[in-house]
Structure 1
Amino acid sequence: MDFHHVSVLLQESVEALNIKPDGIYADGTLGGGGHSYRICERLGNNGKLIGIDQDSNAIAAAAQRLKEYESKVIFVNDNFANIKSILDKVEMNAIDGAIMDLGVSSHQLDEGQRGFSYQHDAPLDMRMDRRNTLTAKSIVNEYSEEEIRKIIFEYGEEKWAKRIANFIVQHRQTAPIETTGELVEIIKRAVPAGARRDGPHPAKRTFQAIRIAVNDELGILETAIRDFVDVLKVGGRLAIITFHSLEDRIVKQTYNSLSSGCECPPQFPICICNKKPIVKLVNRKPRLPSEQELEENPRARSSKLRVLEKL
């Protein structure tokens, strides 16, 4: 199977890790192995990479791509949110750096049968980890109208969320919604013609929202960042690439919280919280893709790279 995924901000993110040849690194979102390949190129014989992905197809594809470095790589089919138990499993207690490229991979979008894309008609699935039981089909057919509205509004930042949720619930009263194609048609009917003419595909935000809900992408993020920082060695770095404002906001706020000191109210004469910064921000503002990268890979458009270093 061809697992094609164009790694975004590849050079910048790998360079940001300051790779030591004998270090231990984790790629929390292995995908097709693009970032991992560049990390492995810089590792010596004693260096190790832990390649983590919840999608078993990604693990299989990355194993092929990283074949020449197989002695350096440990593959783990799991969610990066479980980094602490993953390290226990591979009998390691700390890492020198980690990278995460959030969101859905190009391959998952292009592989129509997975149900991630509004461009292909396929069963409503959207699971990154097929061992999970919750699917997009369960959400659109079983959740209440209010729950669906909330998901589409909060995770998709979709202003027509109320109408879309209402149209979904009306439609499913006659027959269950089985495919992405059916869902796209319902969304198109719900979004007024004037709103459909401008901007992105009318189903884009709803599909993003349902995918985030199916995979609990935002729910796990803050805890995962804090757990990665816990297992970083001093001087170790964490590089995270985000693709939409909700993810980026969580990453930015968590980084800021970890890098800030005293949080006592300004009127207190002395600090009583004793909070010390745990990390420093390597770049105050996020790194963005270059014009050249945007020309070569339009999917990089909304990507942002944020990097921290453990103190």
Structure 2
Amino acid sequence: MICYRLLGKEVIQIIQNTNRLIFITGCAGFIGFHLSRRLLEEGCQVIGIDNINDYYDVTLKYDRLNMLKKYQKFHFVKGSIDNKELVESLFEQYQFEIVINLAAQAGIRYSIENPESYIQSNLVGFANILECCKHHKISHLIYASSSSVYGNNKHIPSSIYDRVDHPISLYAATKKANELMAYTYSHTFKLPTTGLRFFTVYGPWGRPDMALFKFSNAIINQQPIEVYNYGNMKRDFTYIDDVVESVMRIINNGPPKESDSYYKIYNIGNHKPVKLDYFIQLIEVQLGKKAILKLLPMNPGEVLETYADIEQLVNDIKYRPQTSIEEGLIKFTDWFKDYKNIKT
């Protein structure tokens, strides 16, 4: 059953089915936490798994997790999806309706230093998820891809119909591989899968390794921030609430049908690229301090511009991400100052 509520000026769909059982991998991560909380608030049962690795400060992950544990319909399992026996046991124990795979080793630069972790989590782990979804006839597998699959694609804005054969980081290559693996399972086993190419997601409870969190920390502590390509880059920053709303509508729309070969890909972006120097200026205003800039050449694995073509998404889910960068940064910095107990 679907009901409706207001989000700003829009009427949006929400799930109203307390018997829905959803498995979310990476539930202590940034997007996983927000999506889990939204599903729990709307009465769903959520089984979450996360290995709480130390890629960034685990305190933030546990703080997110502690918020989720307040919900009676949330159950947490600590572990990695590359543990085949563990994943299989969870699928045996629970009758999942929907699986949302957000667990992955994140980060572009880190993939240069530690490639093995990307192979294990992003490839071996995802293969385990696919196999279990196939055997247990899951109605819909939704999984995280990334805008990084576009590489330095010359076609702007990036369309889901563009070729993505030239990833320029191992992280991007693993995400492209996920899409290929999902397509194979959709085509061969009629497993409905939807891949989500996220474009620079930001907001409260965000990742400390992402630019917004790193820049805010550095500005508050009067430390230099590393600005690559001398600041001549653009990013399609996408606010977390818009991401979650998009995923919720994808869930409500149901799985891809046979007419779509049981396979879908969407860009999840704001469709409004922002220049990096303007982005930094907005953070300075909100924190009341000037940034110390350390201008550097282009970093290997980075792209010059991300810009999402979201017309297919808007057409299918009847929702367009709407949070401006100015509004989103106010919400982030308000949370950041509260979380860090900063007086400005």
Query: Which structure has the bigger radius of gyration?
Result: 1
Greater strand fraction, Structure 1 or Structure 2: 2
